[in-house]
Amino acid sequence: MSNYPKLRFGVVGIDHRHIYDQVKSLLEIGSECAGYWTAGETYIEKGFVERFPDIPRIDDRQQLLEDPSIQLITCAAIPYQRADFAIEAMLHGKDFMVDKPGVTTLDQLERVKKVQRETGQIYSINFTEHFEVRAVTTATELVRSGAIGRVIQTVGLGSHRLNRATRPAWFFDPVQYGGILVDIASHQIEQFLHFTGSADAEIVSARYGNVGHPDDPGLQDFGEIALANEMAGGYIRVDWFTPDGLATWGDGRLTILGTEGYIELRKYIDIAGRPGKDHLFIVNQNETRYIDCSQARLPYYTDLKRDIFERTETAMTHRHCFKVCELALTAQAVAKSINRKDV
């Protein structure tokens, strides 16, 4: 990567904490941040400034968009705003990397796809439960090597802690965050396609609702999806019910079932077990083994940098990115709305 020029990027929208990892990881691969712009005051701006005191705040985002030395715009704005920021950046000749969900409606998705095709700019959604999890890198290598045979099912569990007191108003408005299946479950849909090597899937069934927070009627605190194609099936459960007694924000898990064995990832904590995160368990015809994945690579950012300078699609193809969005939006649209007595 040292043969490439320095990558310069700007930040547009800091409404979600995922922007911390986006900026940190870009800086770690030798990039330079020209500045950040965000609308008004956000609840995470103080934390952003504490982490990155040398990055200036820009009053007019056009300054970033019109700077010819900036190749990339990264974004973690309020979800329903992200598509317009992406389109704006691509029309200014910038590549764009965004926190999930990149879009919140099918109309937004079609507009983003159209502009991406017309401009040839990179549009990439950083699915953090894949690209920021070292255990996923190891699991990918194991699956690709045939360690568990052909993958026939994934089970993805995405439990999150609500932290009610810290959440902004948009967090409780489904129009602004897109719904729980668009927001959180996009992670697990992406991993289903990734580990099964699939280009598409069918939403077999889906449900979402507010089953435990009657004082916040706009919150969708529980959701589930069954999806499948001719090669494999998948089950997804996402929720905002991580209890305060857990030592981290969520017990994210992924089980990958193959014809010759299975892999389980305990991404963020091994409850009442080993310390730290990035735990992997593999069982196949030869062994039962635990793998500490804490030193595994996270190739997404170096791959994205290569893509920016070589105009390739190694970090993630646009076809894959847009298909994940389409499936998440479809699941949200066809899902049965449930209430407290249905679960």
* The two structure tokens encoding residue 227: 């999806």
How far is residue 188's CA from residue 148's CA, in Å, rounded to a whole number?
20
How far from the centroid of its chain's Cα atoms is residue 56's Cα? 26
How far is residue 176's CA from residue 154's CA, in Å, rounded to a whole number?
29
* The two structure tokens encoding residue 225: 């999806």
What is the architecture of the domain spanning 130-298+331-338?
2-Layer Sandwich (3.30)
With 0-12 / 13-18 / 19 or more C-beta atoms within 10 angstroms meaning exposed / middle / buried, residue 16 is: buried
**Res 1: pLDDT:** 46
CB atoms within 10 A of CB 49: 14
- The 3-class SS string of 170-184 reads HHHCHHHHCCHHHHC
- The 3-class SS string of 296-340 reads CCCCHHHHHHHHHHHCCCCCCCHHHHHHHHHHHHHHHHHCEEECC
Instruction: Please report, in tens digits, the pLDDT of each residue of the chain (343 residues total).
Output: 458 899 999 999 999 999 999 999 999 999 999 999 999 888 899 999 999 999 999 999 999 999 999 999 999 999 999 999 999 999 999 999 999 999 999 999 999 999 999 999 999 999 999 999 999 999 999 999 999 999 999 999 999 999 999 999 999 999 999 999 999 999 999 999 999 999 999 999 999 999 999 999 999 999 999 999 999 999 999 999 999 999 999 999 999 999 999 999 999 999 989 999 999 999 999 999 999 999 999 999 999 999 999 999 999 999 999 999 999 999 999 999 997 766 5
Report domain extents, the chain.
8-126, 130-298+331-338
The fold of 8-126 is Rossmann fold (3.40.50)
How far is residue 107's CA from residue 83's CA, in Å, rounded to a whole number?
10
Is the Cα torsion angle 55, 56, 62, 66 positive or negative in sign?
Answer: negative
Half-sphere exposure of 32 (CA within 13 A, CB side): 8
